[in-house]
A and B are shown apart, each in its own frame.
Chain A
């Protein structure tokens, strides 16, 4: 008789990244998931609970299923909804989840943060390591909740040494299923850029992120890890490779245009996001590679072609 599979709970399972992770680990874990939106036609072997992390009943899942591993992907990363709701889901939701993990004996926890928490600043070194401070709120307060979540998880990591908490900070994620802001930006036919700026940017394919999460679960590593893909290119090369055309605008014009379009809902990012196409936010991924031997499978070419229109 084989040993029973480890029970894995994936939050945000209906999202593109959640589905990819579920698919990747389905043979190794007894997977269940939770999401605010339903996953139509999910595989029958995966139990999907249609629920909000902030609801009281969320704890029942932990009570009943007693997951030993958790992958936390339930974040709102877009700006379509109310910023208050976004903040609450991200911060309060994560806090709830962490409390449950501590209470119900979870052994492994993987949280998908983002390299954006370091912020895009002119004085950034090219390869920021995990000790770099989280500077994003300095110029881009709209996503400070992501930095808060990141900090919550690092605190949790040190508070509960018996739980193998891993916090992954991936670079710009591109792919067919994951709807990332950068993916949406690169899919535009005419891509607004800031005139006179063309920072180096790192990219990773969505399936490599799923692979990295799976590798983290398999190895049970603990700590904060930058997650990098196959390398970096200047923004304009990325735009060209994904089939777009850069439209350089003088900075004041770019900022005011983007801000206005964002306010009326015609553009998906606030103007502060322009810093990320102005200054580098590139990171050093050696620590994760050394801990898990992870190497991305997808080349830069593959990664770009996954969002080409």
Chain B
């Protein structure tokens, strides 16, 4: 982005970006004098009726805020030391892997789209615990991930978007270099209090074409589910039947010359068993769907995530739907094949 080139370079491997941001934050405390004001003599300021000001006064220390910060980090420290060994190890692993990820952070620890490494790390820790010990994910084909920009296209299932979380955890924990994925959210998500902040801090953005193009031009990885809610909220009897794909992702891939990484998730369909959609209730609550789910908590199915070889497409992004649909169908067919192969290889839903 416009401000992108001036921001912090990618953090060096092994040095934790969050810690770096914090040391910079403490170094920031005494307000620096502004260069341009220093350069111009005070006499000029006065001549232009600008008065003696311009240089801010020293900030008085805020005891309450500082002690609150201290308490917070102390509490975090105690929690961390109380946590079992394997959680601490996992936390450190995620920290190291995020430091190796190609993220561009400013002095305050935020990237140009509002991602914050600290929040991302804590969130990934929770996801990673589920990834390793609950869904016991097996990821295949991560070596196929291209460097630079990519569009990860996957099947969507399971009533809540755990598949997105597991794919994103796989690309951070097991890909080399680690690749944080950016999700494209629905337009109404930013209106949800608290969730909108969380979504931005872990790398999600509103799914407008401009956001997607900017992020891809920034050589980052975007994940999209062209089935959308149609796929996620389908009833149990339709499991592993790919629903209609949207065309938007293909136009964006053509426009930005982005390779598409097809991904098949096996195991997500059985985590939640839905008898069908209660459309009137969904309309009443103005929700996109209201699935009648049998189990309140996702079942511990084993996830198998297959990353396919990148698919490159060329063509006019503004072509007629017919032309675009043909290309979309190729991606859909590839994901379908990968799902079928995964289902054949799977010996048990839970093990």
Residues of A whose CB lies within 8 Å of any CB of B are 19-20, 22-23, 26, 39-43, 122-129, 176-177, 194-198, 200, 202, 205, 207, 226, 228-234, 237, 240, 243, 245, 251, 279, 284-286, 289, 295, 297-302, 305-309
Contacts and interface: CB of A to CB of B under 8 A. Distances in A.
B36 A127 contact: no
Given A126-B112, A284-B1, A306-B34, 9 more contacts: A23-B40, A42-B48, A125-B214, A126-B1, A126-B114, A229-B3, A285-B3, A295-B6, A301-B31
Specify the main secondary structure of chain B where it touches its partner.
Answer: loop
A127 B34 contact: no
B32 interface: yes
A234 B118 CA distance: 14
A305 B56 contact: yes
Contact of A19 (B40, B49, B205, B211): B49
Given A200-B114, A233-B108, A286 B1 contact: yes
A39 B47 CA distance: 12
Interface stretch (B92-100, B192-200, B236-244, B281-289): B192-200
Given A23-B48, A300-B106, A122 B190 contact: yes
A298 B34 CA distance: 7
A189 B133 CA distance: 47
B84 interface: no
Nearest to A14: B49
Interface residues of B, number: 53
A178 B246 CA distance: 48
B193 A305 contact: no
Contacts of B189: 122
A40 B49 contact: yes
B344 interface: no
Interface in B33-81: 34-37, 40, 44-45, 47-50, 53-54, 56-57, 59-60, 62, 65
Contacts of B54: 176-177, 306
Return the 7 tightest CB-CB contacts between A and B, nearest first.
A196-B193, A285-B2, A305-B31, A125-B210, A122-B190, A196-B194, A231-B3
Contacts of B316: none
B28 A301 contact: yes
A195 B36 CA distance: 37
Contact of B206 (A40, A41, A43, A123): A123
Contact of B110 (A205, A234, A297, A306): A234
B130 interface: no
A126 B113 contact: yes
B44 A23 contact: yes
Q: Which of A226, A231, A299, A308 has the most CB of B within 10 A?
A: A231
A122 B6 CA distance: 27
A197 B49 contact: no
Interface in B83-104: none
A289 to B, nearest CB: 6
B110 A41 contact: no
B349 to A, nearest CB: 38
Contacts of A196: 192-197
A307 B210 CA distance: 33
B218 to A, nearest CB: 10
Given A41-B49, A127-B2, A233-B106, A308 B196 contact: no
Contacts of A245: 62, 65
Contacts of B40: 23
A123 B190 contact: yes
B191 interface: yes
A308 B210 contact: no
B219 interface: no
Nearest to B34: A302
Contact of B32 (A42, A122, A286, A301): A301
A286 B2 contact: yes
Nearest to A302: B34
Given A233-B110, A243-B59, A308-B59, A122 B191 contact: yes
A286 B195 CA distance: 30
B108 A237 contact: yes
29 contacts: A19-B48, A22-B48, A23-B45, A26-B48, A39-B49, A122-B191, A123-B208, A125-B205, A125-B208, A126-B211, A128-B210, A176-B53, A194-B193, A196-B193, A197-B197, A198-B197, A200-B200, A226-B2, A230-B6, A233-B108, A234-B110, A289-B2, A298-B34, A299-B107, A300-B108, A301-B32, A305-B31, A308-B57, A309-B57
